[in-house]
Structure 1
Amino acid sequence: MNRYEEAKQKLRGSIAPIITPFNEDFSIDYPTFEKLIHWHIESGTHGISVTGTTGEPSSLTVEERVKVMETAAKAINGRVPFVPGTGSTNHQETLYLTKKAQELGADAALVIVPYYNKPSQHALYKHFKAVADSVDIPIIVYNIPGRTATNLHVDTLARLAKDCPNIIGVKESNKDFEHVNRVLLKCGRDFLLYSGIELLCFPMLAIGGAGHISATANITPDKVAEIYNAWAEGDVKRAQELHYELMELNDVLFKDTNPAPLKAALGMMGKIKPVLRLPMDLPSDDLQKEIRSVLSHYVELHDEIASK
């Protein structure tokens, strides 16, 4: 079994996309970031991802992204797989960050479809192939058309999977369930398919998915991991119960742009200072009240917040 086949066995379950916590002065709160990673691992999270959408990478400098990856690698210390997000709208930045991930011993790199510039399918092929060819760690492509304005077609992904042995999977934040079914049909049933849509985490497992990279794991890491554990153990009823149990929380966390509701919720839990960098900001007061109400059904709220 080669290293990429080994990675396909290892990189399964709930890979939590960790937020990047900030201080009141908008600097990165590294001690809190480390505490979040320890909490996730203790809660049963199967893998850690940083500087993906939930980690606000477009609000970070390249130097900050590198330091966040370095901090995460040290905190994880090999206890669970480490899958940093290294993609950018800038090709050279993507190459640089992906090489840094390899230097840090990452188990794989999560590389987003470039956003804003809307490349063609041919250009996307050339971009991802160049990234894959620049390193020898596994690559997980990240397709999120709602935020990139470009959908990576299944045929393009299948071509990449065929031509690049280290492109081993895809995170599909794609509400088109027919599309995600065709990923495994065209790329092979051993290709790693992760759900990036919260309400598709359980259904994706049913068609042969490898797990999920779900923002909700930031709030209930144990339950999001348990969805995968229950499925893997053949307890379909339990996985289904968790799917519906988390639905109200999933819904409220996406009533504003991720990770704004998420950071508000984590602030209510006393886990972080609820700070985002502009142009992102916290949800409206009304939505924060709704988040607090829903959140109280799932977790214990921080005393100062809960008393309001």
Structure 2
Amino acid sequence: MSQNLKKLLRGSICPVITPFKESGEIDFIKMSELIEWQIESGSHGISVTGTSGEPSSLTTEERLLVMENAIKTVNGRVPVLPATGSTNHDETMYLTKKAEEMGATAAMVIVPYYNRPNQAALYKHFKTVADSVDIPIIIYNIPGRTAVNLEVDTIARLYKDCGNIVGAKESNKDFEHINRVLKACGPDFLLFSGIELLCYPMLTIGGIGSISATANVAPSLVAEMHNRWFEGNHEAALELHYKLMDLNDVLFRDTNPAPVKAALGMMGKIHPKLRMPMDLPEENLQVTIKKTLEEYKLI
């Protein structure tokens, strides 16, 4: 793997939410504003249409429009990693090819959700997708959402057999699994944390960064934690890790991205609309979110 890619794909990659108008239509103006704010706040990259972007509530055409809008808005200033996976293999192939055509830096491909393929089937799925494009692929392993874990041996085999599979986003609370992935794949494997309380610990064992929903709300704090780590100021990075903990906790008291959208609405960044079957948190949690935002001086 090119060392240039390792320098490029690192730090805080914000998984930007998909803002909707009150009518439920995608608000592309707000999306561009959010991306500009992320870049101004120091985020090291942008991802769209991942879990935080409510991809299962978007049509395939809408996902393409969101990807296109993000790539055009960023305009080469930071890496863009659209999430192109779905429960449907052909759709995953199509979206990943389109991401490559649009000029995305890399594509993030989730373990297919709901289907629960076995490990051999998962290997075949990812290899077929990777072989169809030249764009770098980041595997997205999130067993809490997909109901199946991509096992260490399968990840290592894919990394060995597919030159453009370069890393993984691990939204996996099993820290032993994460250690074993890094040991099996080696120091050049780009491992991103998708679990907020593991963002700092993963850096300490060889991770490269995080793709954290909290960056939607506090982009400068999340980016700063990574910057301090990369500078070698590990004590300051650890301090920021603990400083972020209360915010991380409240943003995951309900299913992501409901609390994040509620928070961004309170901050005046978006209309806090989710598409059904998702909805905003109940009133008592919204009160707690507002109080937490005030404590962090975000409103």
Fold conserved (TM > 0.5)? yes
Hey, what does 1:84 align to over in structure 2?
Answer: 82
Are the counterparts in 2 of residues 8 and 168 from structure 1 also a CA contact under 8 Å?
A: no
CA distance in 2, matches of 1:74, 1:211: 24
Hey, what does 2:254 align to over in structure 1?
Answer: 256
- Once the two structures are TM-superposed, the CA of residue 8 in structure 1 deviates from its matched residue by 2.3
CA RMSD of aligned residues (A): 0.8
Hey, what does 1:96 align to over in structure 2?
Answer: 94
After superposition, what is the alpha-carbon deviation per residue over 1:167-225, rounded to whole angstroms, capped at 9, x for unaligned?
Answer: 00000000000000011100111100000000000000000100000000001100101
CA distance in 1, matches of 2:4, 2:88: 30
Are the counterparts in 2 of residues 7 and 107 from structure 1 also a CA contact under 8 Å?
A: no
- Flag structure 1 segments of 5+ consecutive residues without an equivalent: 302-308
Hey, what does 1:175 align to over in structure 2?
Answer: 173
- Flag structure 2 segments of 5+ consecutive residues without an equivalent: none
Equivalent position to 1:203, from 196, 201, 204: 201
- Once the two structures are TM-superposed, the CA of residue 9 in structure 1 deviates from its matched residue by 2.4
Aligned to 2:295, what secondary structure does the other structure show? coil
CA distance in 1, matches of 2:298, 2:155: 42
Hey, what does 1:67 align to over in structure 2?
Answer: 65
CA distance in 2, matches of 1:217, 1:144: 18
Aligned residue runs from structure 1 range 1-308, under 5 A:
4-301=2-299
CA distance in 1, matches of 2:203, 2:6: 15
- Once the two structures are TM-superposed, the CA of residue 297 in structure 1 deviates from its matched residue by 1.3
What percent identity do the matched residue pairs reach?
Answer: 69
Q: How many residues align?
A: 299
Aligned to 1:291, what secondary structure does the other structure show? helix
CA distance in 2, matches of 1:43, 1:228: 13
- Once the two structures are TM-superposed, the CA of residue 5 in structure 1 deviates from its matched residue by 4.2
- Once the two structures are TM-superposed, the CA of residue 152 in structure 1 deviates from its matched residue by 0.2
Counterpart residue type for residue 232 of structure 2: G
Counterpart residue type for residue 126 of structure 2: F
Counterpart residue type for residue 173 of structure 2: K
CA distance in 1, matches of 2:110, 2:141: 6
Aligned to 1:296, what secondary structure does the other structure show? helix
After superposition, what is the alpha-carbon deviation per residue over 1:104-162, rounded to whole angstroms, capped at 9, x for unaligned?
Answer: 11110000000001000000000000010010010000000000000000000000000
CA distance in 2, matches of 1:141, 1:73: 20
After superposition, what is the alpha-carbon deviation per residue over 1:259-279, rounded to whole angstroms, capped at 9, x for unaligned?
Answer: 000000000000000000000
Are the counterparts in 2 of residues 13 and 229 from structure 1 also a CA contact under 8 Å?
A: yes
CA distance in 1, matches of 2:216, 2:209: 16
After superposition, what is the alpha-carbon deviation per residue over 1:54-79, rounded to whole angstroms, capped at 9, x for unaligned?
Answer: 00000000000000000001000000
CA distance in 1, matches of 2:278, 2:125: 28
- Once the two structures are TM-superposed, the CA of residue 7 in structure 1 deviates from its matched residue by 1.7
